[in-house]
Amino acid sequence: MLLKNLSQLTENQWRCTRHWIVVTAIAEGLMLLFNRYLAVIYLIIAVLFLAGFGLRVFNVYPGKREPPLLDSSAVAVALVFAYVADRLGASFTRFIVIFVSSLIILPHLIYIVSRRDM
């Protein structure tokens, strides 16, 4: 169903999806570059999504109206990744965590693809 929806995305949905892909690529690059501070980077990501959550709850978010659950779920996933990165220390598996961490934005991407009025 997701592949069928991708061919029917509106221009605004494609724009939002491209935005998230670019932001994720930049974040992944920073994580690779500064992998020694990976847990701190995940905590920063969690704080940024927490700020978005707060703005949505108080109805002052400057963008389109979206459910606060999107940002709160991203906070929870980012905190899990921060914990895992801290536990892994300097092991090679940290690099696997870096590439899997794009799951943090998965709720946002699913929301974008599923909403026709985006």
Summarised one tens digit per residue, pLDDT across range 77-109 is 999 989 988 888 777 777 788 888 888 888 888
Q: Residue 116 in contact with residue 11, Cβ under 8 Å?
A: no
The pLDDT assigned to 79 comes to 94
Token digits of residue 106: 């998965």
Measure CA of the first residue to CA of the last residue in the chain; give whole Å. Answer: 18
To the nearest whole percent, how much of the chain has pLDDT over 90?
Answer: 20
> Where do the domains of the chain lie?
10-114
Token digits of residue 87: 């536990």
The pLDDT assigned to 83 comes to 92
